[in-house]
Amino acid sequence: MQANTTGYLLQHVAAIVDRHADQVLQERMGIGMAQYRVMLVLRASPGTLQKQVAEALRQTEASISRQVKLLVADGLVTSRVSQANRRQHLTALTPRGLRYIDEADRVIAGIYADALSPLSGRQLNHLDDILNVVHTRLCPEQLMADHIRFG
């Protein structure tokens, strides 16, 4: 992909912002973007099966399980075996996890505000409209999109 094409720029900007957000979250909160995304899903749907978290984030159950274990160790998430199926785990944010994600939201919002600060209000609205069109095209099922907000 050539530099300065729309596809390249979209991918490159997303990667840079994601890497920066991961670094800042690690430094300030002790969690990374992977854990933050899991927490977003759990805030939107408490008591969710790890399989459903994986589907919502389009990741493997193994990767979600690793993130959940880290979050449980930090006291941000609880995970218990489902009574309906002992191979499944129900996960939810703890009260501390709820407070933590609210603070992480503020950190992320600051990162995005800084990255987008050169844009005017009109440009931001236009960018939002364009991204919503692309998102709807790529994710017609709106995997928890009504509940999950970044920044």
Do residues 112 and 151 lie in contact, with contact meaning Cβ atoms separated by under 8 Å?
yes
**Beta strand residue intervals within the chain, DSSP E:** 48-49, 77-81, 89-93
Q: Convert the pLDDT of each residue in 3-33 to its tens digit.
A: 779 889 999 999 999 999 999 999 999 999 9
pLDDT at 77 over 70: yes
Phi, psi of 78 (to 5 degrees): -110, 150
Alpha-helical (H) ranges within 30-49 are 33-44
Helix (H, G, I), strand (E, B) or coil at 110: helix
- Quick check: 59 and 40 in contact, CB under 8 A? no
Distance CA 130, CA 125 (A): 9
Say whether domain 6-138 belongs to CATH 3.30.70.20: no
- CA pair distance 78, 73, nearest whole angstrom: 9
Cα(149)–Cα(112) distance, rounded to whole angstroms? 12
pLDDT, tens only, 88-130:
888 999 999 999 999 999 999 999 999 999 999 999 999 999 9
